[in-house]
Amino acid sequence: MAFKKKTQKAPESFHFEERGGPTVFADGMRHLTQEILNSFDARVAGVAASRHETVTMLRGFRQEMKNVHHELRRKAAELRRFLGNTESSRMRDFRALHHGIRAGQDARSRHLGGLLAGFRQMLFGFHQDHQAAASHWRSMAAALAKKRASFAR
């Protein structure tokens, strides 16, 4: 069995003999060329529009970035100023607090020194009283011993 190969028929636009000869083919080619050019022009116009839109968007983005940059710089300067002002205020408050603490500490030290001095005087007074009493007891004991000795004789 032999297979017969099927041949495909060329599209109608290529059969110029059947439709009137070479002019129909040339007209078809002109028409196809015109469609290709129109399609190319449409794509170029689309690309140009996309490019224009992209450039416009990039300009807008760059301008917005400049605005953000300036705003951030302005806010950073404000923050530095604020921190500088509040730093001096905080340092002034800290110094006042520190001075108050030191003054309170000095007052407590003086008060404690006075208490200790009073305690020392009291102890010294007790010591002197104790020595005086001891001396008095010794002299009284000596006098009594002398009296006993005079009675016992």
Question: Is 29 inside a domain boundary?
Answer: yes
Residue 19: pLDDT band (50, 70, 90) is low
- The answer to pTM > 0.75 is no
Residue 21: pLDDT band (50, 70, 90) is low
Question: Is 134 inside a domain boundary?
Answer: no
Question: Is 128 inside a domain boundary?
Answer: no
Residue 64: pLDDT band (50, 70, 90) is very high
Question: Is 33 inside a domain boundary?
Answer: yes
* pLDDT at site 6: 53
Question: Is 86 inside a domain boundary?
Answer: yes
- List Cβ neighbours of 14 (8 Å cut-off, separation of 6 or more): 25
Select the highest-mean-pLDDT range: 21-25, 65-69, 82-86, 136-140.
65-69
Report the mean per-residue pLDDT for the chain.
84
Question: Is 45 inside a domain boundary?
Answer: yes
Domain of 79 in residue numbering reads as 13-120
For 11: left if phi > 0, alpha if psi spans -120 to 50, otherwise beta; the answer is: beta
Distance CA 143, CA 149 (A): 10
Question: Is 148 inside a domain boundary?
Answer: no
For 9: left if phi > 0, alpha if psi spans -120 to 50, otherwise beta; the answer is: beta
- List Cβ neighbours of 16 (8 Å cut-off, separation of 6 or more): 22, 24, 25
Question: Is 91 inside a domain boundary?
Answer: yes
In angstroms, the first-to-last Cα distance of the chain is 181
* pLDDT at site 10: 46
**Number of domains comprising the chain:** 1
The 10 Å Cβ neighbour count of residue 28 is: 16
Distance CA 138, CA 144 (A): 10
* pLDDT at site 151: 79
Helices of type H across 1-153: 16-19, 22-152
Residue 12 confidence (pLDDT) above 60 = no
**What are the tens digits of pLDDT across the range 108-129?**
999 998 888 888 888 787 888 8
* pLDDT at site 137: 92
* pLDDT at site 69: 96
